[in-house]
Amino acid sequence: MVHEIGSVLTGRRVEAVTATGRLTVALSGGVVVTVENDFRLRTAADVEHFYPGLTLPPSGALAALVGARIDSASVTRSGGLELALDRGRTLSVPPDTAGPGSTGAWRVSGPQGPLFTAEPGGYLAV
């Protein structure tokens, strides 16, 4: 599964970034990454922590992701998502370990529906 997500996301460009209680990253080809969990964005100079539940509009380094290309994508052993983008940026979403009743940390959808979903407890559904 780790290799499959890379083949789906690598090379895609970020077309839009929105935050309305969750982070939504629209990619080329109609693919969307939705983040329900807290996450961090690392750049060459800084690390920023984000909390989608605060519903703040994307700004700074997060807004600057529009136009970026995904160089690689992987799922950690615990179910987190790592997106390496051009110019040395990395978007990291830790797994949701809250357990039953939680919505999961992140998901990737295509035009026909869900492709990958991080399940509560660190599991991944394909």
Q: Is 66 exposed, middle or buried (0-12, 13-18, 19+ CB in 10 A)?
A: middle
Residue percentage of the chain with pLDDT more than 70: 82
- pLDDT attached to residue 54: 63
- pLDDT attached to residue 104: 75
- pLDDT attached to residue 19: 81
- pLDDT attached to residue 4: 87
Cα 47 to Cα 69: distance, rounded to the nearest angstrom: 19
The residues of the chain scoring below 70 in pLDDT are 1-3, 52, 54-57, 97-103, 120-124, 126
Q: What is the mean pLDDT of the chain?
A: 85
Which residues face 16 on adjacent strands? 26
- pLDDT attached to residue 55: 65
- pLDDT attached to residue 24: 93
